[in-house]
Amino acid sequence: MFAKIIIDQDAKALDKVFEYRVPDDMSVQVGERVIVPFGSRNLQGFIVGLEDVAVFDESKIKPISRKIEDFPVIKKEMLELMFYMADKLHLKLASILRLFLPSEMRTDQIKELIVRYVSLSGGGQMPSSRAKKQLGIVEFLKENGKQKFSDVSNQFGYAPLFALVKNGVVVVEEKQENRVPVFDEIKNEHRVLTALQQRAVDTITENKTYLLHGVTGSGKTEVYMNLIERQLALDKTALMLVPEISLTPQVLANFKARFGEKVALIHSGLSAGERFDEWKRIFFGEARVVVGARSAIFTPIENLGIIIIDEEHEQSYVSESNPRYDTHMVAEFRRKYNDCTLVFGSATPSIESYSKAIDGEYQLVEMPVRVNGMEMPKIVVIDMLMEMRQGNNQIFAIPLIYELKNVIEQKKQAMIFINRRGFSSFQRCRQCGYVAKCTDCDVSLVYHRTENKLKCHYCGKRFRALDVCPSCGSRDIKQGAIGTERVVEELHKLFPDVRILRMDNDTTSKKNGHREILNEFRNTKPAILVGTQMIAKGHDFEDVVLVGIVDADQSLYQSDYRSIERTFQLITQVAGRAGRSASQGRVILQTYSPRHYVYRFASNYDYKGFFKKEANLRKVTNFPPYARIVRILFTHENENTVAQECKVCYNKVKEVRDAYAEDFVYLDVMKAPLNKIKNKFRYQIMMRFKLDKADEIEKKIYDCVDEKCKSSVFFEINPNNLS
């Protein structure tokens, strides 16, 4: 027999299916991992097919060396998904397979967790009456039965325990155990559904795709849990995705409380061991509900009854790094394969998904009011230019300071949102204009006051902060736009006695950092939580009555077609944190463009109005979802190479453009806005074409890239980020 094998190497030349002979004494199945000889090396491979006859000269085909596991790690569904993604996204087969396994498994760094237990043997040589500690252990084990070795040795000391083992009084036993991720224990509260929730649950029954549009606080989570329960009762399984940043301890705790041992959690905060053990529980069918971030869409859960993608509009569902994929597309594949239900949920659906709902591709389900009937928080738009004219040069508007004082007097809580971590966006010399930049990337450095360092947010490199301008020697250094650290500092000056917490990438990088900050915030009143996007989603704090948005325009003037949509979403989500229980919340939104339509629609919670305006704009200007954008990004250490290769490709794309002149709206070649990241130069070809023949054109575009070019080449369809 012959096996078709994909070699687990991320190289263009190896991106095909190789043939190997299956030794007579070896039994293999499709999906298994094996070691095969390749040139002078032994490499890992995946069996993707088995045939009785080979395509190549059979006498030259080498045999498989050995199997890695004795079961297929890649299940049939995932194999089909691999071929589908390779075809659709032009990805290398091996790089897709890597998405399907915990990375630690591929590199063999995983050790199973072995836990040692001790118990009385019932025999052996009992300790003398003077050996108090040993006798203590014997008593303890008599009373409590089998105990963890480490617990007993921590309590009584290692030496006495060891003596008992040596004398045969105590026996040691080793067990392989699963590492369980930490979560907060809460009670499972079964709530009576509101009429709207019940209607949603009753509607979402078929094997098709739904868009659940429910305002913040409408109780979408409870709907999801009911849908999942129904599937479990039918002996089916469920997969629920939430964005990494809203994968809050609270969400996890809720699911654990409701579904107990049946839940597996997959998120970036897990240790390698925890992730591997959760993966195994999913693989072997022990876990029946998977809750996780983006990558969980690839977990090998079988017999799916429902897939739920919460906060479906979130950008993080699109993988921006190689291999690039869109979770929506993978979810659609799995829905069809499993013939199950798919739910996209959001308070602010993406323009793309909502237009699919309008076109009937998704079924729209709406929950327009909050669970407790509370009104949506009142959003007050503050014109910061006016504030300045009236002599306020602080970073907070007067009404915000006034509201904060109220919150503090009432011992309630506030959240302040600023979408930039660090102290200030850059440091610049006022005399000569020098700006500190990263040596490896074409970006200005962000000043972090707590460490007194300049940091590159693209590569992580650190540099000395400027006190003297290296170019002209001046000490007149200006700080750029404010970040979280600066906001905290200003709040400290205003309210020295109030607890002020900060939540951003810098304060949550250590394991469980998130949980600790959120728990402290939950238990402190009054308190102010300052944070980036991380505070925008999923949190449900009863006592937050005020939300301040310090620089709402920050996401508005980014140079991509989704920036207005993103601003609308951010404001709605952040505002949604306020007033979730008894008292109506209030939101103070600071802007320099108070008349921008995005603020008008957002402050009225008018999603439909916003959608109409935005969709119309995209239609007439030919932007997605009414046209397609393709960016081909070339990167390489040598600027000449990358510029040259990009140009060659561009000339070929031009031929495609000429053949489809009617469809093309735009085509150009240029340096990427960020010309250099991590010492690699970046050039790009940008194009936009109409939808009628989009798939056909896209296929032709893929062929424009020379297989042998030295640069790394990335294709992006409707990219989120154009830097």
Angle between helical axes of 484-494 and 398-409 (0-180°, round to 10): 60
**602: burial class by Cβ within 10 Å (0-12, 13-18, 19+)?**
buried
What is the C-alpha separation between 286 and 263, in angstroms, rounded?
A: 9
The least distance separating ligand ADP from the CB of residue 198, rounded to whole angstroms, comes to: 9
Nearer to Zn ion, 146 or 430 (CB): 430
Report d(CA 114, CA 484) in Å as an integer: 43
Site for ligand ADP in 38-97 (CB under 6 A): none
**Does 243 engage in binding with ligand ADP (CB under 6 A)?**
no
Q: How far is the CB of 356 from ligand ADP (least distance, A)?
A: 21
Beta bridge partners of 435: 428
DSSP E strand stretches across 368-488: 378-383, 413-417, 427-429, 446-448, 453-455, 462-464, 477-479
User: Residue 477 CB, nearest distance to Zn ion (Å)?
Assistant: 8
653 near 603, Cβ under 8 Å? no
221 or 237: CB nearest ligand ADP: 221
295 contact, one of ligand ADP, Zn ion, none, CB 5-8 Å limit per kind: none
CA-based radius of gyration for the chain: 29
Q: Which does 219 bind (CB under 5 to 8 A by kind): ligand ADP, Zn ion, none?
A: ligand ADP
CB 262 within 8 A of CB 239: no
| Whole-angstrom distance, CA of residue 360 vs CA of residue 210 | 10
Pick the closer one to Zn ion by CB: 186 or 432: 432
Work out the number of other CB atoms within 10 angstroms of the CB of residue 419. Answer: 21
- Cα atoms in the Cβ-side hemisphere of radius 13 Å centred on 22: 22
Partner in contact with 458, chosen from ligand ADP, Zn ion, none, beta carbon below 5 to 8 Å by kind? Zn ion
Taking CB under 6 A as the rule, does residue 216 contact ligand ADP? yes
Residue 219 binds to ligand ADP (criterion: CB under 6 A): yes
Please work out the total of residues on this chain that contact ligand ADP, with binding judged by CB under 6 A.
15
For ligand ADP, give the closer residue by CB, 45 or 345. Answer: 345
222 binds ligand ADP (CB under 6 A): yes
Q: Quote the least distance from Cβ 553 to ligand ADP, whole Å.
A: 25
Residue 444: CB minimum distance to Zn ion, A: 10
Contact status: 221 vs ligand ADP (CB under 6 A): yes
Q: How far is the CB of 186 from ligand ADP (least distance, A)?
A: 10
Question: Which one of residues 431, 519, 641, 675 is an interface residue with Zn ion (CB under 5 A)?
Answer: 431
The neighbouring-strand residues paired with 66 are: 35
| Shortest separation between residue 196's beta carbon and ligand ADP, angstroms | 9
> What is the smallest separation between the CB atom of 331 and ligand ADP, expressed in angstroms?
19
Interaction between residue 429 and Zn ion (CB under 5 A): yes
* Site map 207..246 versus Zn ion, x via CB under 5 A: ----------------------------------------
Rounded Cα distance, 658 and 667, in Å? 11
**Which residue from 170, 225, 438, 697 is in contact with Zn ion, where contact means CB under 5 A?**
438
Torsion of CA 96, 100, 103, 107, to 10 degrees: -80
Query: Which residues ranging from 472 to 491 are in contact with Zn ion (CB under 5 A)?
Result: 472, 474
Burial 385-394 (b: 16+ CB within 10 A, else e): eebeeeeeee
Give, in order, the Cα–Cα distances in Å from 526 to each of 27, 408, 410, 494, 523: 66, 5, 8, 14, 9
Of 155-163, 219-227, 413-421, 527-535, the segment contacting ligand ADP by CB under 6 A is 219-227
Task: Choose the contact partner of 194 out of ligand ADP, Zn ion, none; CB within 5 to 8 A by kind.
Answer: ligand ADP
Given 102, 160, 181, 214, the residue binding ligand ADP (CB under 6 A) = 214
- Which partner, Zn ion, ligand ADP, none, binds residue 472 by CB below 5 to 8 Å per kind? Zn ion
Among 434, 597, 660, 715, binds Zn ion (CB under 5 A): 434
Please, which residues bridge with residue 50 across strands?
Answer: 3
Residues 133-192 that bind ligand ADP (CB under 6 A): 191-192
The answer to whether the beta carbons of residues 425 and 481 sit under 8 Å apart is yes
Q: Which is nearer to ligand ADP, 200 or 685 (CB)?
A: 200
Nearest Cα neighbor of 564 from 572, 573, 555 is 555
CB-based contacts of 482, cutoff 8 Å, min separation 6 = 395, 418, 420, 423, 424, 425, 550, 551
Nearer to ligand ADP, 253 or 401 (CB): 253
CA distance 192 to 394: 47
Q: Report how far residue 540's alpha carbon sits from residue 251's, in angstroms, rounded to the nearest whole number.
A: 10
Largest CA distance in the chain: 97
Point out which span in 189-197, 445-453, 467-475, 558-566 binds Zn ion (CB under 5 A).
467-475
Q: Nearest approach, Cβ of 413 to ligand ADP (angstroms)?
A: 15
Q: Which is nearer to ligand ADP, 554 or 569 (CB)?
A: 569
The two beta strands, 680-690 and 627-636, are antiparallel
Residue 113 pairs in a beta bridge with: 177
Distance CA 244, CA 267 (A): 7
Tokens for 493, please give them: 């000056």
Q: Which of 12, 3, 2 is nearest to 93 (CA)?
A: 12
Per rule CB under 6 A, is residue 104 in the interface with ligand ADP?
no
CA-to-CA distance for 552 and 626, rounded, in angstroms?
Answer: 27
Shortest distance in whole angstroms from residue 463 CB to Zn ion: 9
Residues 501-560 that bind ligand ADP (CB under 6 A): 540
Nearer to ligand ADP, 541 or 650 (CB): 541
DSSP code for 206:
S
> Does 432 sit near Zn ion (CB under 5 A)?
yes
CA 269 to chain centre: 11
Can residue 442 be called a binding residue for Zn ion (CB under 5 A)?
no
Which of ligand ADP, Zn ion, none does 218 bind, CB closer than 5 to 8 A by kind? Answer: ligand ADP
Q: Is 197 in the site for ligand ADP (CB under 6 A)?
A: yes
Interface pick for ligand ADP out of 95, 134, 153, 194 (rule CB under 6 A): 194
Is position 575 an interface residue for ligand ADP (rule: CB under 6 A)?
no
Q: Tell me how far the alpha carbon of residue 288 is from its chain's centroid.
A: 21
Residue 121's binding partner, choosing from ligand ADP, Zn ion, none, with beta-carbon cut-off 5 to 8 A by kind? none
Which stretch, 182-190, 212-220, 450-458, 617-625, contacts Zn ion (CB under 5 A)?
450-458
| Cα distance between residue 247 and residue 74, in whole Å | 27
- Give the footprint of ligand ADP on residues 348-407 (CB under 6 A): 371
Which residues sit at the interface with Zn ion, rule CB under 5 A? 429, 431-432, 434, 438, 440-441, 456, 458-459, 461, 469, 471-472, 474
Which residues sit at the interface with ligand ADP, rule CB under 6 A? 191-194, 197, 214, 216-222, 371, 540
